[in-house]
A and B are shown apart, each in its own frame.
Chain A
């Protein structure tokens, strides 16, 4: 997952290269006006994760996020999600939304991007991937679909000797 996020951050997404990033940036945008922060994902991660580390250090007696128990982590994440946890100099909800969105993307995107390894995300829901032809499925409604998923780079059955 970190591999996926790292790679995304090095591309145009990481710098919001395709977005409209001219100022001025409003300090009080309406919720209906959407994304208005000047921080691009690279900055959001750097600053957000630093803020989280700082918060953990002071709140959990020097332990970092990775050293917390699973229960503590869950509680902290929920607090970030709801905005109840206040991070120093960073919007906790912004950090949570970013990590959540990127995690979902990595989990469900084509494996070529580094996440969804072995198509585990697709297998979870039963999404067949890039196969592109489902005339047979439409012809037989309400039936279980049995073919394994395939990605942009194929699937194990494409290669003689590769384990499925």
Chain B
């Protein structure tokens, strides 16, 4: 029996990056805002205590801070002919949980997509002809441009304090920065991180080959910083416990460091933690949301009415919530009809591991976004004509960590255990680095999300089913990138390199990346998208959905920078919406 609560102006599902930003910006205008988060409250000194945070077994191996698959998992299959089975233990991607969400344990690599990424369909067709587009693709132009988002990228970067070096300020190209980037209105708020020895070798080798390396933009801050909201952060100490860990010394941008201190001071804001939203409630005509239903820790069900519902639960769980709530027509890959779950995409990761005769790379001295990158093979910065694929990759030489349970490399051919293994492990640890390519993934008819027919969560609701595999286009593109990485690795002076390409079907087992995108995409046409250009649902105009679920396809970068920019872009639209509620775009 559910109990109904007094109404709020805004209910926010999930209190991660997008939820925190929305909560603060709206609460400070005086609106009554409640955020409902199914994980626990997290606070730096209590939960990322310097005496407990650097624990690889607990956080990286046992996955203590992520969503517990027991609470919610996803079933997976590679194609429609197979039966999806639950991901019983996370591997390929690691969804966050709790206040701060994945913003607590991300690496902090913070990018802007390139201008061509936003109109990839038009651009590639215009330049190379329609034949270059891959088979069965669902690639769409975004309904916003880089220019639309530029000021909002800037806003997010200044809240997070991103450390970097601009390569293009208002059209002026600045060597040493990313000279391929879309024009920025100003430089990054803090200077780039210091880099390590491997990065210096990479910079030299890449420059010698006529490429344009630059320090990767980083949410691990190079200096102390006070952000736009008045929150203060400290400088990164290169501790090597970045991704999958909370930061103990306030130097990684997260909701905890950047937003929560001012959010909790807002008198009209309330957070309810350990409460799981089970669905968005709709009025009988299905065109208006009346609020959400949620279950608290004791299992009691509550109805929280609200005028505005913001779904900020992470890309994958946004899509599931829309499916469970009946918002938008679910996508059917067989007929090609429907939109929710369509255009699901991911990321490719390939590269070359480089073994050196002698080096002291000190891999443990690392930060989540430490690294030198180059975009010479990203987007359409290179000639796709002879290559026969679309998409590109950012190429980086990076160290995020040297944590030994996961990272104890040995040269190829070394036995996996025994005295020979021990000797090789000892000799190799300091002498390995890698050059990696993080590549785009297009959207396809057969890659999609829907509700699983068999498996359920503890509340009895169907799990979401993910049908995904890499297609020929991605294999070709990422293989090309791996070869480019290998050339640079050899030029760095490696005595031996091992190239890693995509082989076989996509597997959930090894960790790859948590850059799951799409499923509730933004677009210009309600027949092929779930949200309009302001991230407002075409079907239910008082529901907005934040996050990478909005991406029509993924680019050759981490998504968070663009997620942040879209959040501020949507925030402005929501403020307009609140003055005159209704659809902001006529279908």
- Looking at the complex, which one of B70, B195, B249, B416 makes contact with A132 (CB distance below 8 Å)? B249
Q: Does A87 contact B (CB under 8 A)?
A: no
Q: Does B188 contact A (CB under 8 A)?
A: no
When each residue 228-239 of chain B gets 1 if its CB lies under 8 Å from chain A and 0 otherwise, what string results?
000000010111
**Nearest A residue (CB) for B66:** A18
Q: Is the CB of A19 within 8 A of B89?
A: yes
Closest chain A CB from B436 CB (angstroms): 20
Which of A69-119 touch B at CB < 8 Å?
Answer: 74, 77, 81, 100, 103-105, 108-110, 112-113
Q: Does B408 contact A (CB under 8 A)?
A: yes
Q: Is the CB of B91 within 8 A of A134?
A: no
Q: Is the CB of B85 within 8 A of A29?
A: yes
Contacts of B89 in A (CB 8 A): 16, 19-20, 34-35
- Looking at the complex, which one of B194, B405, B456 makes contact with A109 (CB distance below 8 Å)? B405
Which of B63-83 touch A at CB < 8 Å?
Answer: 63, 68-70, 73, 76-78, 82-83
Q: Shortest 8 CB-CB distances between A and B: which pairs?
A: A134-B365, A141-B197, A32-B507, A109-B57, A137-B365, A20-B69, A125-B429, A108-B404
Q: Is the CB of A133 within 8 A of B237?
A: yes
Q: Is the CB of B86 within 8 A of A22?
A: yes
Closest chain B CB from A112 CB (angstroms): 8
Contacts of A129 in B (CB 8 A): 54
User: Could you tell me the distance between the alpha carbons of A61 and B504 in the complex, rounded to whole angstroms?
Assistant: 43
- Of A45-53, A142-150, A155-163, which binds chain B? A142-150
- Contact A20 B362, CB 8 Å, known A30-B78, A104-B405, A105-B57: no
- Looking at the complex, which one of A24, A104, A122, A143 makes contact with B454 (CB distance below 8 Å)? A24
Q: Is the CB of A32 within 8 A of B454?
A: no
Q: Does B95 contact A (CB under 8 A)?
A: no
Q: Does A66 contact B (CB under 8 A)?
A: no
The count of chain B contact residues (Cβ–Cβ below 8 Å) is: 67
Closest chain A CB from B481 CB (angstroms): 22
User: Could you tell me the distance between the alpha carbons of A13 and B237 in the complex, rounded to whole angstroms?
Assistant: 31
Q: Is the CB of B57 within 8 A of A34?
A: no
Q: Does B403 contact A (CB under 8 A)?
A: yes
Chain A residues close to B by CB (< 8 Å): 12-13, 16-22, 24, 26, 29-36, 74, 77, 81, 100, 103-105, 108-110, 112-113, 121-122, 124-135, 137-139, 141-145, 152
User: Could you tell me the distance between the alpha carbons of A42 and B57 in the complex, rounded to whole angstroms?
Assistant: 18
Chain B residues close to A by CB (< 8 Å): 50-52, 54-57, 61-63, 68-70, 73, 76-78, 82-83, 85-89, 91, 194-197, 200, 235, 237-241, 248-249, 359-362, 364-366, 402-405, 408, 416-418, 422, 425-426, 429-430, 454-456, 504-509
Closest chain B CB from A91 CB (angstroms): 16
Can you list 19 A-B pairs with a CB-CB distance of less than 8 A? A13-B62, A17-B70, A19-B69, A22-B455, A26-B85, A32-B78, A33-B87, A34-B509, A35-B509, A36-B85, A104-B408, A110-B57, A112-B55, A134-B238, A135-B235, A144-B360, A145-B360, A145-B362, A152-B55
Contacts of B68 in A (CB 8 A): 18-19
Contacts of A145 in B (CB 8 A): 360, 362, 365
Q: Is the CB of A143 within 8 A of B78?
A: no
User: Could you tell me the distance between the alpha carbons of A40 and B68 in the complex, rounded to whole angstroms?
Assistant: 16
Contacts of A135 in B (CB 8 A): 235, 237-238
Known: A16-B88, A137-B362; 6 extra A-B contacts, CB below 8 A, are A21-B70, A81-B416, A125-B408, A134-B366, A138-B194, A145-B365
User: Could you tell me the distance between the alpha carbons of A130 and B49 in the complex, rounded to whole angstroms?
Assistant: 12
Contacts of B76 in A (CB 8 A): 32-33
Contacts of A32 in B (CB 8 A): 76, 78, 504-509
Q: Is the CB of A152 within 8 A of B63?
A: no
Q: Is the CB of B83 within 8 A of A100?
A: no
Q: Is the CB of B61 within 8 A of A105?
A: yes
Contacts of A22 in B (CB 8 A): 86, 455-456
- Contact A138 B404, CB 8 Å, known A20-B87, A32-B508, A74-B418: no
Contacts of A122 in B (CB 8 A): 404
Q: Is the CB of A134 within 8 A of B405?
A: no
